[in-house]
A and B are shown apart, each in its own frame.
Chain A
Amino acid sequence: MAMTKSQRQLNFSIFRYLVLTFWLFIVAFPIFWMVGTSFKPDIEWFAWPPVYITENGTLQNYLVVWADASEYSESVHTQSLQRPWEALGNSTLISLISTTLAVLFGSVLAYGVSRYQILSEGRMFQLLMLRMVPPIVLIAPISIWYRALDLLDSVPGLVMLYFITTLPYAVWMSKSFIDEVPREMEQAAEILGASKWQTIWEVVLPLVRSGLVATFLFILILTWSEYLMALLLSKTNVVTLPIELSKYQGSTEGRVYGRQAALSVGITLPLILVGIIIRKHLVRGFSFGMVRR
């Protein structure tokens, strides 16, 4: 028997919700497990059957990681090298500076590409292709250069590296937002008496602001969580959060999952906070259609 139209619509929406719910579980489970584990005492980290929601919640993991209330304080352990606050500081400094530079230079470049075709289509594509090169193959040459320039294991070294490697994204993303601003709008401002700078400041910038904020967050996330290049180009002086995370494992005690989880929560929270602060811009920025014609 054939279904009626309303039945079909109902079935389809049930199907849609099932698929999306399934997807939500897949996406959200690791986050749930991370947060859950961070509150578990050590015997529950590996327990079988797994403990989904602990009944013995503890802040011990957080205290050990972030407040250095080490329960091993008397014994020999591997955690003496761990400096999470310093790593947080480094990560914050490096990501903010390199992301700001990338978005600043990227958007200026993108404006030139969008309005004055300073780069051809082919050049723009090549710029993006730079990102297709596996980072690992770049590390050796960069190491040599950095050694010569004395940039290894330094904050400026990582800032420069992240700035250069994220610049293509910044150009591409901000260009898509600048392209959205009709040229006629700029010309209208010009013929009404605005100078080029006034036009950019009064007309272009307000219209692409949301897009630039979205670009900023996107690149911030990339930089904030970058592991490979930081691992190979820094050693002991400059440690970022992803590197710090890898230190919470050792030959004697194995992986200390609870501590890692507590640190992971600390790594994730700042990004979520930034996201909440700028959410107004994100919705408009990521929808790519913020200019009403």
Chain B
Amino acid sequence: MSQIELKNLRKEFGSLVAVNNLNLTIEDGEFIVFVGPSGCGKTTTLRMIAGFEDPTSGDITIDGKVVNELEPRDRDLGMVFQSHALFPHKNVADNIAFGLRMKKVKQDEQARKVKEVSELVRITHLLGKMPGQCSGGESQRIALARTLVTEPSNFLLDEPLSSLDAKLRRELRAECDRLHDELQKTFIYVTHDQEEAMTLADRIVVMNQGKIVQMGSPLEIYGDPVSYFVADFFGNPAMNLVEGEFVSGDSGLQFKSPQFTIPLPSKYSQKQPGKGTLGIRPENVTIGATDAAASINREVELVEPLGKDTLLYFETGAERPFVAVIEGTQSVERHANVDVGFPDDAIFLFDETGARIR
């Protein structure tokens, strides 16, 4: 059993507040992912849990015990670093055995465990090599093995995959998932990649400017973002966000952007007019014949066939082009005029401060 609690955790670097009164309970065996843009405080939080940074104020408890004063090695943690941080002067087997040697495990026991763990992450063929002779993906597996072998109750992973190429990243992502399933240990994972967060997490903690913006399962975060920031951060292609104004029209509230005006669903009819943003995920936009209440007629600027799906780009005066995803089997010509529909239940509204209007 191992429960980690962060209580009013705060970290300042000079006048910069990196982490601002963070409160969070991480349950035993949970796969939790801290995600956010660089500088949002996610890595600082992880490093405070590890014991490499001292909190300016607040407590970190593991199993109900405050560990603020404990050295990293006494916290029952394992950590995998972004740079892998393998010891370049020791061969792979010695790298993996390092933690066991430091904990004074017997020689034959060491050898047995190294063998066992290298089978688990499939690197037995690398044991005799030096880290410099291993590829990036192999290095990351070795780094995982080096941490796994000491059998900590909690794993901290600091952007472990960000130095790898896309294909390897997917492969090792699946590996992480498999390991978590097998070990049933707590994984605390930091990434700036929303896709990694979505695929791995039991629970996602979205951070921005040192604060937790939203917490929840991947689907909650994706389907019910609390703010413009979260809505914008998750999803690929990203949510279409059009700035404009909410104005009262004949049949309730309308959304008016410089280029188009659409009526808004009736549940928003009681809301205050004012500046704001309309959001809709590209896969929820309908093209062609639609029964959506709101639709606009637009020229297709660009057609991007991806095989299974096709992306259509429209010009709506926003910073980013407005994107719609349709099935790859449907064919739409470039420069064709089509009806772009906004189904009621797919519309998100955000006020001027970026907060969600429900």
Contact = CB atoms under 8 A, between A and B. Distances in A.
Contacts of B98: 189, 192, 194, 202
B131 A292 contact: yes
A132 B131 CA distance: 42
Contacts of B132: 292
A197 to B, nearest CB: 12
B89 A293 contact: no
Contacts of B102: 189, 192-194, 198
A182 B99 contact: no
A111 to B, nearest CB: 17
B197 interface: no
Contact of B85 (A185, A195, A198, A206): A185
A292 B79 CA distance: 20
Interface in A183-209: 184-185, 187-195, 198, 202-203, 206-207
A291 interface: yes
Nearest to A186: B85
Interface residues on A, range: 20 to 34
Contacts of B268: none
A191 B50 contact: yes
B155 to A, nearest CB: 11
B252 interface: no
B235 interface: no
A184 B89 contact: no
A192 B85 contact: no
B291 to A, nearest CB: 56
B20 to A, nearest CB: 24
Given A192-B99, A194-B102, A187 B88 contact: no
Interface residues of B, number: 26
B100 to A, nearest CB: 9
Contacts of B131: 292
A182 B83 contact: yes
A17 B317 CA distance: 62
Nearest to B147: A192
A212 B86 CA distance: 22
Contacts of B72: 187, 190-191
A191 B77 contact: yes
Given A206-B89, A207-B89, A292-B132, A193 B83 contact: no
Given A192-B146, A206-B89, A207-B89, A293 B83 contact: yes
A213 to B, nearest CB: 15
Contacts of A184: 81-83, 85
B85 A190 contact: no
Interface string A254-275: 0000000000000000000000
Interface string A135-156: 0000000000000000000000
B73 A190 contact: yes
Interface in A204-260: 206-207
A156 B228 CA distance: 72
B83 A194 contact: no
B286 to A, nearest CB: 49
Given A193-B99, A194-B102, A188 B85 contact: yes
Contacts of A207: 88-89
A188 B150 contact: no
B358 interface: no
Contacts of B103: 193
Nearest to B82: A184
Interface string A143-184: 000000000000000000000000000000000000000101
A203 B87 contact: yes
B292 to A, nearest CB: 52
Contacts of B51: 191
A187 B85 contact: yes
Given A187-B85, A188-B81, A194-B73, 18 more contacts: A182-B85, A184-B81, A184-B85, A188-B146, A189-B102, A190-B71, A191-B50, A191-B77, A191-B79, A192-B98, A193-B103, A193-B150, A194-B98, A195-B73, A203-B87, A206-B89, A291-B88, A292-B131
Interface of B: 50-52, 71-73, 77-79, 81-83, 85-89, 98-99, 102-103, 131-132, 146-147, 150
23 contacts: A184-B83, A185-B85, A187-B50, A187-B52, A187-B81, A188-B81, A190-B71, A190-B72, A191-B50, A191-B73, A191-B78, A192-B102, A192-B147, A192-B150, A193-B73, A193-B103, A194-B98, A194-B102, A202-B87, A202-B98, A207-B89, A292-B131, A292-B132
